Amino acid sequence: MAGRDLVQKLKQLDAYPKINEDFYSRTLSGGIITIISASFMVLLFFSELRLYLSPTIVNQLVVDTERGGTIRINLDVTFPALACSVVSLDAMDISGEQHLDVKHDIFKKRLDAHGKVIEPAKQDSVNQPTLEKPLQKHGGRLEHNETYCGSCFGAETEEDHCCNNCEEVREAYRKKGWALSNPDLIDQCKREGFLQKIKEEDGEGCNVYGTLEANKVAGNFHFAPGKSFQQANMHVHDLMAFGKESFNVSHKINEISFGVHFPGVVNPLDKVERTQIPMHGMYQYFIKVVPTVYTDVKGRKIISNQFAVTDHFKGGGPGEGHSLPGVFFFYDLSPIKVQFTEKTMSFFHFLTNVCAIVGGVFTVSGIIDAFLYYGHKQLKAKLGKNT
């Protein structure tokens, strides 16, 4: 008896009283609303499931308190009208550090007039230039047990300094801050056919790519024809050695980035192409580098950078002043750091949203069904009275 009373009391707590099937009144509108609401529930469920499985990105701006360190610059630039023997890469920063004619981790590919890579010719000893009567410090002839030691033509830094080829003479001149105005006056350059090689490569292009490791301070790196040197505290390039009055510095930037790649990064200079209409001028890109930290859902951090850029072309025509032909990238670092963090929705949050979807759609569809049912009923009653 007591068990029966307990069952009765539990029945009274039922918040969902059941309606006898004999009293159900099914309508066409109710069936249509049921199909639409069920479809809508399924659509919202999968949308919520996708949101649950995909992490969201939360960004935050903080002051960059890190000091010192270096920044890696990734570069890949194509010059369709500058030969690889002409173009050079220099890097410097406001701390006074300079890297002239950078070759470490920097590579060049020769390109023909159609932009195809020219495979380097195999070195053949038969075709190597021979130095007859080489310029010596001892009367132009080799003495007993003496190896060849070419003259540096006044640019020697030590008594036993040797310049055995044209490139070493040019390097010695660069360190002295001298321009090599006429390579034909240099025995090594004349015998190696320096100017002849420049003429043969006229019309070729060059693809320069690689990485630079720079101090984490403001600075610049630039591509320009000729070797650079310092003269009266000025950065100068020896353009006279090439015997040309103008240089076409048209270029295509395949990639310029600072640091490693991270998901969602956009480098605004990638695929940028500039065709030079005047035959002499300087392209300048002013870059603001923003330190960035990307943290994935597993807590792994990617320390990198993103940047914004503006560009300017400075011609060398009449009234515009003299400007070194080349492509210059001036960069500065922002004091603000951006932090991107991947976050996922908790399972209980997902479950709560699913219940809200089911309950909300069910309730709203019930209201719409009731409105249509009783509205139709009242309308039918009014029409019956009028007739």
| Tens place of pLDDT per residue across the chain (387 aa) | 667 777 676 656 545 455 555 556 666 777 787 888 888 888 988 888 888 888 888 889 999 888 888 999 999 999 998 888 888 899 999 988 888 888 899 999 999 888 888 877 554 444 444 545 445 554 444 444 456 788 887 778 777 788 888 878 877 877 777 777 777 777 777 777 777 777 777 788 999 999 999 999 999 999 988 877 666 666 777 776 666 777 888 999 999 999 999 988 889 999 999 887 655 688 999 999 999 999 988 888 999 999 999 999 887 654 455 677 889 999 999 999 999 998 888 888 888 888 898 888 888 887 887 787 777 777 777 776 665
What is the model's pLDDT at position 62?
A: 92
What is the model's pLDDT at position 122?
A: 54
Which of 203, 227, 251 lies at the terminal end of a domain, its last residue? 203
* CA-closest candidate to residue 342, choices 60, 48, 105: 60
| Residue 273 and residue 239 in one domain | yes
Instruction: Centre a 10 Å sphere on the Cβ of residue 159 and count the other Cβ atoms it contains.
Output: 6
How many structural domains comprise the chain? 3
What is the model's pLDDT at position 121?
A: 59
| Residue 228 and residue 99 in one domain | yes
Which of 178, 203, 228 lies at the terminal end of a domain, its last residue? 203
* CA-closest candidate to residue 104, choices 212, 222, 257: 212
Is residue 267 in a domain?
A: yes
Helix 28-53 / helix 347-386 crossing angle, nearest 10 deg = 160
| Residue 367 and residue 225 in one domain | no
| Residue 229 and residue 323 in one domain | yes
| Residue 325 and residue 282 in one domain | yes
Is residue 327 in a domain?
A: yes
| Residue 30: both structure tokens together | 């109710």
| Residue 185 and residue 279 in one domain | no
Is residue 16 in a domain?
A: no
Identify the domain containing residue 160 by its residue range.
Answer: 130-203
| Residue 272 and residue 177 in one domain | no
| Residue 181 and residue 213 in one domain | no
Is residue 220 in a domain?
A: yes
| Residue 247 and residue 101 in one domain | yes
How does DSSP classify residue 117?
A: B
Tell me the one-letter amino acid at 113.
A
| Residue 78 and residue 198 in one domain | no
Strands 281-295 and 336-343: parallel
What is the model's pLDDT at position 233?
A: 67
| Residue 194 and residue 178 in one domain | yes
**HSE value, Cβ hemisphere, 13 Å, CA-based, for 189:** 21
How far is residue 209's CA from residue 109's CA, in Å, rounded to a whole number?
Answer: 9
| Residue 167 and residue 50 in one domain | no
What is the model's pLDDT at position 139?
A: 46
Helix (H, G, I), strand (E, B) or coil at 339: strand
What is the model's pLDDT at position 21?
A: 57
Is residue 22 in a domain?
A: no
Is residue 85 in a domain?
A: yes
CA distances from 145 to 138, 141, 317 (A): 13, 12, 57
What is the model's pLDDT at position 125?
A: 40
Is residue 20 in a domain?
A: no
Is residue 17 in a domain?
A: no
Which of 177, 203, 229 lies at the terminal end of a domain, its last residue? 203
How far is residue 284's CA from residue 220's CA, in Å, rounded to a whole number?
Answer: 10
Consecutive H or E run containing 79: strand 70-79
| Residue 184: both structure tokens together | 């034909």
What is the model's pLDDT at position 123?
A: 47
What is the model's pLDDT at position 118?
A: 84
